[in-house]
Amino acid sequence: MSRDEMSALQGKRLHKIVEYVYHNVPFYRNKLQELDIRPDDIQTIEDIKKLPFTTKKDLRDNYPFGLQAAPQSEIIRVHASSGTTGNPTIVGYTRKDIGVWSECMARCLTAYGVTRDDIFSVAYGYGLFTGGLGAHYGVEHLGASVIPAGTGNTEKHLKLIRDLGITGLACTPSYALYLAETMDKLGIRKEDIKLRVGAFGAEPWTESMRQEIEARLGLKGYNIYGLSEVMGPSVSYECQMQHGSHINEDHFYPEIINPTTLESLPAGQTGELVFTTLTKEGMPVLRYRTRDLCSLLPGTCDCGRTNVRMGRIEGRSDDMLIIRGINVFPSQVESVVLSMPEFAPRYMLIVDRVNNLDTLQVQVEIRQEFFTGVFDTPAAVDQLEKKLAAKLKSVLSIAAKVQLKAPNTIERSQGKSAHVIDKRKL
Residues that bind another protein (CB under 8 A): 366, 368, 371-378, 381-382, 403-409
Chain centre to alpha carbon of residue 162? 29
Question: Which residues are registered as beta bridge partners of 407?
Answer: none
Chain centre to alpha carbon of residue 282? 18
Is the Cβ of residue 341 or residue 373 nearer to another protein in the bound state?
373
CA pair distance 160, 100, nearest whole angstrom: 30
CB of 132 to another protein, least distance (A): 35
Cβ atoms of 24 and 17 closer than 8 Å = no
Is the Cβ of residue 35 or residue 406 nearer to another protein in the bound state?
406
Cβ atoms of 170 and 144 closer than 8 Å = no
CB of 388 to another protein, least distance (A): 14
- Angle at which helices 95-112 and 130-142 pack, to 10 degrees? 70
Q: Give the residue among 378, 371, 81, 387 at the shortest CA–CA distance from 362.
A: 387
CB of 323 to another protein, least distance (A): 21
CA angle 288/76/115 to nearest 5° reads 80
CA pair distance 34, 36, nearest whole angstrom: 5
DSSP string, 302-345: TTS--S-EE----EESS--EEETTEEE-HHHHHHHHHT-TTEEE
Is the Cβ of residue 73 or residue 413 nearer to another protein in the bound state?
413
Q: In this structure, are strands 145-147 and 168-171 parallel, antiparallel, or unpaired?
A: unpaired
Collect all residues with Cβ–Cβ distance below 8 Å to 157 and sequence separation of at least 6.
Answer: 121, 123, 149, 179
Is the Cβ of residue 196 or residue 405 nearer to another protein in the bound state?
405
CB of 328 to another protein, least distance (A): 22
Is the Cβ of residue 65 or residue 371 nearer to another protein in the bound state?
371
CB of 386 to another protein, least distance (A): 13
Q: In this structure, are strands 288-294 and 315-316 parallel, antiparallel, or unpaired?
A: antiparallel
CB of 405 to another protein, least distance (A): 6
Cβ neighbours, 10 Å, residue 255: 19
Q: Give the neighbor-by-neighbor strand order of the sheet with 401-405.
A: 401-405, 357-366, 343-354, 420-422
Is the Cβ of residue 240 or residue 408 nearer to another protein in the bound state?
408
Is the Cβ of residue 207 or residue 376 nearer to another protein in the bound state?
376
Is the Cβ of residue 394 or residue 408 nearer to another protein in the bound state?
408
Is the Cβ of residue 339 or residue 368 nearer to another protein in the bound state?
368
CB of 417 to another protein, least distance (A): 24
CB of 324 to another protein, least distance (A): 23
Question: Phi, psi at residue 92, to the nearest 5°?
Answer: -100, 145
Task: Write down the H helix ranges in 126-265.
Answer: 130-142, 154-163, 173-186, 207-217
Is the Cβ of residue 238 or residue 342 nearer to another protein in the bound state?
342
CB of 154 to another protein, least distance (A): 26
CB of 244 to another protein, least distance (A): 45
What is the chain's length? 426
